[in-house]
Structure 1
């Protein structure tokens, strides 16, 4: 492999001049710069990125730990993070926590050991004990989608309270009185907040959410199916199910199909988070769509601001309701 010395000999300059040209500094003359760049091309020289990063105390890499890479929501965020980071000259190293605190902590430590310039984490649970280790290592940190206990770092998330309020109004308006909710885990901020916002909206409409019409899942498909089965087995089952996550919504839909129940003829269905194929079903699914691309991009910008020594504020984007008819508009309700 060609070295900087080889480039210097080919261009007829010192290695210091080659270094200046490659690092964007002014060369002695434009002609000298052209000779150096021509020698680089002819020899196929590639600078040692690792050595350069150690000198600059930067690796030009960001770490991203997501809660569940199989979840389309987090996959879309990961893609947006990668796109935004690449636009700023950074690479992204991914870790999948698999909704598990211990696995999350392992990836966080691994990324710290790899000397990433900053960390983006979508927390698996409320447990924020790992944040202290990140702070001790002096690595900038931004949280995505969920918060953790005791952390005072920037957070980028979407607020779905208005969309949930609108959904509650639509369900009541079309005659639903028995509303079942498949909520997320109680030890996650999104699990609690979505349930509380929706329950408050229903209460304000004079239709309080019954305790036995709420089941908690783990943001996975199987838990959505199990919760739907439990709700449908009630003496007076819900006339509509609201799943507070796309994978739990998929599980609920599978359970409805297994029970030979039609949507929305027998049971309505609404899902928090969208999927590309939700609009393609025989009855397109009503969803609350989060601005995933904007969330991922904003998180990278916040992290780069931290790396630059700035103090960015929290970013709160807005989720929106997309009504597609799966909640039974026009279907009589008992």
Structure 2
């Protein structure tokens, strides 16, 4: 026979006090002496009492649950971010419900509305590229880029790009191809700006957008990187690790050695970036710190604390909205090849 969970009545009966006294002691309300309140909490712990989430919601008007909207959960970056958010939320006493935008603005809106309907106390949104999150009727924290209006907290994408640009310039690279996904991405725009600043005016840097290339040549069409190496490009700077691995794969298939003939770098430091061959030079985001700041700022607004600040757009602001990135130096970047004009290899 399944035993019943201990409730307020069981605690009250054990101590010989009223249920109301137990409730006030556990919630911190009412006039209960410090000594009695401590005895009640000790008894609750010894009996294995777990507060009812539903009951707490009725008393406080809060569910103890935060919403999290991701742009595309199929991208391996976002489950890593979700894990960091869940850990930060758990430390703050909250659970997390996840919604997936699946790469579409309409789906992002629907995901937000579904979470609001389920009564979440606040929502953390990583916006689909190029979209703004305005007042949605409940506290909302945005993780995008410091350049995004209403942003709460983000990695310093510009600063990370600048550090990578300096790294490639110091290796002697004079011609770099930047590989991006979509020109609509605020994050990737910041990364490009940083890369160009770090490379300096003496380095020739061009951008190839994979989304535009796919529209013209097809999603699986080669990028023509071997021909670019023969033409003098000695470094390929992907704006994500996924893009960098596509470049690495195409160069290797064409018989071009990395990093001897061409360097490849990325962003995000995905879980497999250190174990591929060659291991990928990339930039790591401090996801734990980003998650901590986003949750802390959101919970402060929910609780009505002074440090919880809201922008004119209705989004929550953290004390520090730019978290530095860390350059992970690995095998895929090296000194510029002296002469690539005689590189052999065919397009994959």
TM-score, length-scaled by structure 2: 0.78
d(CA) in 1 for partners of 2:16 and 2:324?
59
Residue number in structure 1 paired with 2:210: 216
Question: How far apart in 1 are the matches of 2:242 and 2:113?
Answer: 28
Q: When you count helix as a share of all residues, which structure comes out higher?
A: 1
Looking at structure 2, the residues matched to 319 and 206 of structure 1 have their Cα atoms a distance apart, in angstroms, of 25
SS in 1 for 2:205: coil
Equivalences for residues 1-334 of structure 1 within 5 A: 1=4, 4-5=8-9, 7-9=11-13, 11-25=15-29, 27=32, 30=35, 34=39, 38=43, 46-128=50-132, 131-132=134-135, 134=136, 137=137, 139-146=138-145, 151=149, 153-202=150-199, 204-210=200-206, 213-217=207-211, 226=220, 229-234=223-228, 236=231, 238-309=233-304, 310-311=308-309, 312-313=318-319, 315-329=321-335, 331-334=337-340
Q: Aligned partners of 1:248, 1:9: CA distance in 2, in Å?
A: 64
Q: Distance in 2 between matches of 1:96 and 1:181?
A: 28
Give the total of aligned pairs: 318
CA 1:13–1:61 in structure 2 vs 1: closer, same or farther (change >3 Å)? same
Please state how far the C-alpha of 1:117 moved relative to its aligned partner.
1.2
SS in 1 for 2:335: coil
Query: What is the deviation of 1:6?
Result: 5.4
1:217 touches 1:227 (CA, 8 Å); kept in 2? no
Q: Distance in 2 between matches of 1:177 and 1:330?
A: 8
Unaligned runs of 5+ in 1: none
Where in structure 1 do 4 or more consecutive aligned residues deviate above 6 Å?
none
Between the aligned partners of 1:66 and 1:244, the Cα distance in structure 2 is 19
Q: If the length of structure 1 is used for normalisation, what is the TM-score?
A: 0.81
Q: Which runs of 5+ in 2 are unaligned?
A: 310-317, 341-348
CA offset digits 1:298-329 (Å, max 9, x no partner): 11111122223331445111123233242222
| Equivalent-residue separation in structure 2 for 1:238 and 1:11 (angstroms) | 78
CA separation of 1:193 and 1:33: change in aligned 2, threshold 3 A:
closer
Distance 1:19 1:126, change over 3 A: same
2: CA distance between counterparts of 1:286 and 1:78?
A: 24
Q: Is the 8 A contact 2:234 2:336 kept in 1?
A: no
The alpha-carbon distance between structure 1 residues 24 and 270, as it changes in their structure 2 partners (threshold 3 A), is: same
Distance 2:37 2:275 in 1: 60
Which one is further off, 28-37 or 278-287? 28-37
Partners of 2:147 and 2:168 in 1: how far apart?
A: 32
Aligned-partner Cα distance in 1 for 2:158–2:40: 61
Contact 2:259–2:332 (Cα < 8 Å) also in 1? yes
Q: Per-residue displacement from partner, 1:24-56 (whole Å, max 9, x unpaired)? A: 4564684697478648855x6544321321221
Q: For 1:227 and 1:145, locate their aligned partners in 2 and report how far apart those are by CA, in whole Å.
A: 30
- SS of the aligned residue for 1:288 comes to strand
Q: Distance in 1 between matches of 2:93 and 2:289?
A: 19
